[in-house]
Amino acid sequence: MTLFAELVRSGPISRWALAAGIAVGIALAFLLLKLSVLRRLRVRAERTSNIADDLLVGTLERTTVFSGVIGALYAGWLVLNPPEDAARIADAVALLVLVVQLAIWGNRFVSLWTGLSIKRRFRDDAASATTLVVVGFFAKVVVWVIALLLVLENLGVDVTALVAGLGIGGIAVALALQNVLADLFGSVAIAVDRPFALGDFIVVGDLMGTVEHIGMKTTRLRSLSGEQLVFANNDLLKSRIRNYNRMSERRVVTSVGVRYETPPAQLEAIPGIVEEIVRGQEDVRFERVHFREFRDSALLFEIVYHVLQPGYAEYMDAQQAINLAIVKRFAAEKIGFAYPTQTVHIHHA
């Protein structure tokens, strides 16, 4: 009540009316400027491909009405020439709101920048896009930590002593959260070392899928059957990962079996026939074909070639074309494929 009485005695009614008019005027001007300026900037950003326009509009859109109202009230408050204690409280509140608004702007700017950069780089450099996800997270942490330290310093807290105390307490926290921290540093290792990136098809043990999210604690894959697979980052890095998107070509090892009744001349001709078929395919490099071994019901030929396109669909297309060509050519040459057979000898006593 004493502080309120001092405020009342600090100026006549006309000064209070002037302060209220200034506050209301600034608040209305703030709202009008926010709507009109943002509308114009948004139209301009849609007409250009410049990323700076999108960043500016997206950041300013996070200007809160609360910040504008507090700023207007603070401007009107200064007209009253308030007592020292009240002025100190008002200054602290105004600075707190300003720091929070700056932090909101900074957080939004980082989110927009990482999002737009990932969208532009994803097709050409998915690994770089993965790095940006982690960089964006730590940038947001830095923004809010700086804001927190500024607020605490404004409230009279000894920031130096606080940081020193947190350093000691941080050891205990790190021990309690070592699994979480291990996953956090695992995300940093993924971003720096880039064993895989968003969109890569990887195999981890007996699980496989396309990488669709790399977070601070987990990495998520979309499996071929549709379900989502979630891996802790630390556990994922301890596993053996096969990344099929890093393949430059696919080496195919397959075999074909013919019947034991096949004449020797036809057996000698089979390697040349298969080689001719393989060399006749586009984006396929022939390596070898050999009569490998005698199986129970077949004479087995091993065929090795390379599909020069790493995609799985291209690999299957090439294999299908080669298999169909072998079937047609063997039929023309009257070479029979083997199938499981048994010969039963009956002995008459």
* Residue ranges, CATH 3.30.70.100, the chain: 250-333
Q: Output the pLDDT for position 4.
A: 44
Work out the percent of the chain whose per-residue pLDDT is above 90. Answer: 27
Burial readout 188-210 (b: 16 or more C-beta within 10 A, e: otherwise): bebbeebebbbebbbebeeeebb
pLDDT, tens digit, 9 for 90 and up, residues 266-306: 999 999 999 999 999 999 999 999 999 999 889 999 999 99
Protein fold of 250-333: Alpha-Beta Plaits (3.30.70)
| pLDDT(205) > 70 | yes
The average pLDDT across 123-152 equals: 71
Task: Report yes or no: 93 and 67 within 8 Å, Cβ to Cβ.
Answer: no
Single out the residue of 277, 286, 287 nearest to residue 321, CA to CA.
Answer: 277
Question: Tens of pLDDT along 67-87?
Answer: 777 777 777 777 777 677 776
As a whole number of angstroms, the distance between CA 171 and CA 167 comes to 7
pLDDT-derived band at 164 (thresholds 50, 70, 90) equals: low
Amino acid at 308: L
SS3 content of the chain, % helix, strand, coil (to 5): 60, 15, 20
| Mean pLDDT along residues 343-349 | 71
Provide the pLDDT for residue 254. Answer: 94
| Sole residue written with tokens 């859109």 | 61
CA-nearest of 132, 165, 147, 4 to 80 is 4
Residue 135 and residue 121 in contact, taking contact as beta carbons nearer than 8 Å: no
CATH of domain 193-245: 2.30.30.60
pLDDT (average), residues 327-333: 94
pLDDT at residue 176 is higher than 80: no
What is the chain's mean pLDDT, rounded?
79
Q: pLDDT class for 121, splitting at 50, 70, 90?
A: low
What pLDDT does 321 receive? Answer: 95
Query: What is the identity of the amino acid at 60?
Result: L
Per cent of the chain over pLDDT 70 is 78
Strands (E) across the chain are located at 201-204, 207-214, 218-222, 228-232, 241-243, 250-258, 284-294, 299-307
Element (H or E) spanning 161, and its range? helix 159-176
Q: Which amino acid is at 278?
A: V
Residue extent(s) of CATH 2.30.30.60 domains in the chain: 193-245
